[in-house]
Every structure is written in structure tokens, then in C-alpha cells.
Structure 1
Amino acid sequence: MSHRTSHLPEARNAVHHFIREMRYHEASRQLLALAYILVLAVFADGQWPAFYWVGFGTATVGMLIRLWASGHVKKNKELATDGPYAYVRHPLYVGNILLLAGFCIASQLWWSVPVMLAFLWFYYPTAISYEDRKLRQLFGDQWEQWSANTRALLPRFQGRGFRFGGWSLRQSLMSNGEPLIIAYVIYCGWHLVVL
């Protein structure tokens, strides 16, 4: 049992245990998402160029949100409440969802959206629950106040203005592996173009 599931009741059987561990396993979520993007890039239809541009534009917005968010987060040391965290509790997840949605649109594969929705349903509710629980334990009242006015994935802009916050390029590029993700997304996007 991983540290992410240690608080949960005992699994009913081996299959239930395996599924539950997979849902909470961060590395498998990330690797499967990256593999899915590559599959979409390799098997893309490419029939209508406008779909490529809309999809890659959506994926680019997702990548920029990830870059912005990763320059604010100081994992387990300080509660990030500025920049994108002023609008949504999990901006890295919002960026990931936009990346996946963008590649689904760009690929023009009919089955890509149902597969993406199943992937999101399988992984993200447990990931959000785990992150919220962990942050509540680490930051207590500060987390309670911030989360009371900040939704998990749907941004709330009313009365907040634009808050770029104390973004750090070094934090974004060095601590969170964003250069590798950016290079990978650009490669997969380029692969879609040369089909």
C-alpha cells in the first residue's frame, strides 16, 4: 500500500487493491498521459487542418498554464495562492487537461475524446482528493481559507483581477521538469503537422 492510500480502508480483494493503487499512482498517470499524446500524434487523421490549429492552440494554452503554475509551486514548503493558484487550486491539472483535449482535437480521431474522458475520470478525482487532503494537513487554516474561495479546476475570476504573482522561471524550468514536457509536446505537435 502506498502512502497515498494508507488512510483508506482495506481493499475488498486483489483487483480492487490494484485498481485503487493505480488511481493514486502519480507516475502512471503522468506516463500514460504522455504516451496517449504520442499515440494521438502517431495515429492522427489530419484530414482538416483547422482542427490541428485549434487543437494545438488549446494544447499550447495548457502548456503555458503548466509553465505559469510550475513557477509558483514550492511543493510541501509553502502554499501557493498567487499566480494561477489565485484562480484555481490545481492549475497544473488544468494545464494537463487542456493539453490532452488539444491533442484530441488536433488528432481528429473520433475515439480520442471518450478515451481521454475515461482517463480523466479514472485519475483526476483521486489525485485532487489526495492533493487537497495533503495540503489541508500541511497548511491547516491557511488552506481552509484559500480553498473556500478557490475551486479545484474551474477558475473563478470575479473580483480577482489579473494576478501574475511571484513567478520564477528558474522554479518552473529547473524544479518541475517543464523543459522536457515542453520539448515533448512540441515534438508531438510537429509530428501531427508532418503527417
Structure 2
Amino acid sequence: MSNRTNDLPKLSGIRNLIREMRYHEFSRQSIGIILVSVFCFETSSNSIIPYASNFAISLILLGLATRMYASGFVLKNKELSTTGPYAFVRHPLYSGNIMILIGLCLINGFFWSFVTAFIFLWFYYPTAIEYEDRKLKSLFPDTWEEWASMTPALMPKMDLNGKIFSRLDLRSWSLKKSLVANYEPVIVVYVLVWVFIVLQR
């Protein structure tokens, strides 16, 4: 049993095996990285959706920007980030991943990529979100409840009071956190290289 499931009700047999797989962080991250290369490598001009659509590229860039933005605010397990992107959603890194994955599916253009992405997100993300919420609640019990009650998991609420730009808190973004603590630029470069390869075909 991994440390991510220690606090959950005990299971046995195949149910326990499946749950352990769903909570396995390295598998989720590794498969996500592999999907980037597979979706880009398997593109074809005969796919059901034109792979070079401006919308797909824009969605990928928005997802990467969201990840870069979020990674500059988070110091994992040491502080509860509630400003910047974390003032809008609790898991902006996952929100960025979803945008990137949808964009890559559009670039790939084949139906199987959408099915694969849906299964991947359904299998791994609910448990990843549950674990992150549970961990943060235990680490920061005095502040997590109030923040979580006002902040959605993945999809931000409509901001009707006109204060969205002040909530972005761009001045607090830290390149050191993004690069040194979270290695985010490496992920950005990896995705951009694959997208560039696709566009050169």
C-alpha cells in the first residue's frame, strides 16, 4: 500500500490493485509524458481534424502558460498557495494539463486520441485531486477549509466584480519556484519541441 492510500478504507484483491494504480503518481506522470509524444508522433494529414488548427495550438499554449504561471506560486508541501492562479482554482497545474491534452488530441486528430485522453483523465485525475486535497487539508488545517470552500478544483468561477486582474498577482510570481523547485520550464520545452516537430511536417 502506498502512502497515498494509507488513510483510505482497506481494500483487497483486484479493487485494491486498481486503486493503487490510480493513486500511483509516477505512472500518471510517465503516461502523461508518453501521451504527448504519441499524440504528436501519430499525427497525419488524413486525420479527422486538421492538426494545425489555430485553436489547438492556442489551447496548448494556454495550458503551458497556466502551468508556468501556477508553478511560480507553489512550494510543494511547505506552504499553502492561495494567490495567483490558486485564487481561481485549487489545482491549476491539472487545469493546464487538461488544456494541453485536449489541444494535443486536436493536433493528433484521430478519434482514438480523444478516447485515450478521456480514459487517462478519468482514471488518474479524480484520485490525484482527492489526494492533493486530503494532504493539503492535513498540512494546513487552519487555512485549507476556508480556501477550498471558495475555490473550485479545476474550473474557475465567473468573475463578475471586475477584480480579476488584481487577483492574478503577477508580481508575486517566482521564476526560482518555477525552475528550481518544480522544473516547469523543462516540461514546457518538451511539449513545445513536439508541437514544433508536428508543425514542420
TM-score bracket for the superposition, by shorter chain length: over 0.9
Tell me which residue corresponds to 2:96: 95
Matches of 1:146 and 1:79 in 2, distance apart? 10
- What's the counterpart of residue 179 of structure 2? 173
1:124 corresponds to: 125
Q: Assess if the C-alpha contact under 8 Å between 1:4 and 1:24 holds in 2.
A: yes
Question: 1:46 Cα deviation (Å)?
Answer: 3.3
Equivalences for residues 114-153 of structure 1 within 5 A: 114-153=115-154
Structure 1 runs (4+) greater than 4 angstroms displaced: 47-51
Asked if 2 retains the 8 angstrom alpha-carbon contact of 1:62 and 1:94, the reply is: yes
Counterpart of 1:164 in structure 2 is 168
**1:115: Cα distance to partner?**
1.1
Q: Secondary structure at the match of 1:111?
A: helix
Residue type of the partner of 2:55? V
Cross-structure match for 1:42 = 41
Q: CA RMSD in A?
A: 1.5
1:194 aligned onto 2:193: no
TM-score by length of 2: 0.91
Which secondary structure state, in structure 1, belongs to the residue aligned with residue 168 of structure 2? coil
Q: Deviations over 1:62-94 (max 9, x none)?
A: 000000000000111111011000000000000
Paired residues, number: 194
Displacement after TM superposition at 1:157 (Å): 3.9
Consecutive unaligned residues of structure 1, counting only runs of 5 or more, are: none
Percent identity between the two aligned chains? 45
Normalising by structure 1, what TM-score? 0.93
Amino acid in the other structure paired with 1:40: F
Contact map agreement 2:56 2:104 (CA 8 A) in 1: yes
CA distance in 1, matches of 2:64, 2:155: 17
Alpha-carbon contact 2:51-2:108 (below 8 Å) kept: no
1:52-63 matches, within 5 Å, as: 52-63=53-64
* Cα distance in 1, alignment partners of residues 51 and 15 from structure 2: 43
